Structure 1
Amino acid sequence: MMECIPRGLEFFSFKDSPRKKGYLPPEVFRLNADSLRAIEIENASIVHEFNTPLRNVAHLTILFSKFAVIIPRHLLPSVTHLRVSDWDDPPTPEFFKPFEDSLVSLHIGDVSCERLGHVLGALPKLEILNLPLDIGLEISSSSFVHSPRLKELYIRAYETYGNYLLSPSMEQSFLTLGSYIREFNPYLFPALVSITVSCDFPVYDTSRIRGDLHRACQALAQSLSAPNLQVTIGIVRYKPKTT
């Protein structure tokens, strides 16, 4: 028997309502179509299971997505904030096409510089971008395109090396990070006013070099800042290296 479905919900998460409970997201969406403002779904394909437009939903979180699945614009016409936590296929411009006229904030998982250029090109009204950056990979931002409205950029810089002894030096990590940030120049991003970077780098002895790391962050941030651009760089977590 189907459980009683609450009405008047402003937020719904698929994780809170597994199918075994007796009801599916489509029923929740249909009965809360007017009140919902934010939804969190397991994957984009769930949207195809219902025909009720959610006209007031502004925040959409997709926990996992295959970018071959395109979300029909008429079902979510008012989405301005999109978060995709993980994906199986690299993002394509076609996936973001339904949001090109509305999306102002995007939080995405790992994406190559080339694909990031495609994303920026598909979202001309984007104002806020949050993304991770693997310092250990070769970085090329030559595919970046003009993004006239981007104002705020948030970067989580990290390394994926399983063997910390193979990781680049801290000096090299900061050089790579600095080179990447400089690619967000005023010619391509004229509206950009702030860049916030959270560094998650492996280190040998946090108690010994923590001060050096913070000084390096401050020095790099100062060198990248400009009268119209505030750059903030900080360490968010320490991973001790092992031998």
Structure 2
Amino acid sequence: MPSIKKDDIQRGIEYSIKENLFESLNKLYNSIPNGECNGCGNCCMESVGANFIEFLNIYNYIQKSKDMKYIIMDRILDYYFLEYTKKIPCPFKDEKNRCSIYSVRPLNCRIYGHWIKEDYEKNYERIKKENIDFAKNMNKNYGINISDEVLNYKIKYCEDFKPSKGYMTKEERMNFYDSVVMLDSKLYSRGIINTTFKDRGIVEYFIESIFYENTSKNIKFNISKDLYKSKAVLNRLKKLILG
């Protein structure tokens, strides 16, 4: 049984439509200032953090196309299970560097270019330290060596993006985050969703809608320890899940 049950997802989607939560989310997205982006796709290299309402919005979107769902889920499985061994682009980025879920992309993607450089670099240094500590813990407790390519990868600050109304302060960014959390709280407070409220990357939401959390982690650990068998194991998983 998956950590995030299909029935809960469906109830969450139906409730979000009925109570206009998706509409409120889109209004929030539309209130974010625009900016000039050259579409290079260099920033689309990780599973960004997202809220549950954003996952439901994306999940609902990709269900409308069987082909899109298959392609995205195939990439999500690669991204998650090979995450410690090789750097893989965001599974929602297509072969032409375009976002396949652009109209429903999460808040983190929408405000990426709006950070001032000083804040961006400070945040990177914090994340870098957390990643190094995480890698040490994985090696000590599980015998897993996270590849240098993954551990040392940095999405460089984008000098090309030009926000239309100037860069956001930390307070302005946090106000957007708080607004999305408020939408999430309506799902949790009404008991619509029977899952733990915690920080997740968008990929993790999809993985936990397929597997129980500990099961997916154990498979991921085993794949990371034995790269020679990883391709065969992953192919069997895909056949089982995707058909």
TM-score by length of 1: 0.24
Higher strand share: 1
Higher-Rg member (1/2): 1
Structure ranking higher on relative contact order (CA contacts 8 Å, 6+ apart): 2
TM-score by length of 2: 0.24
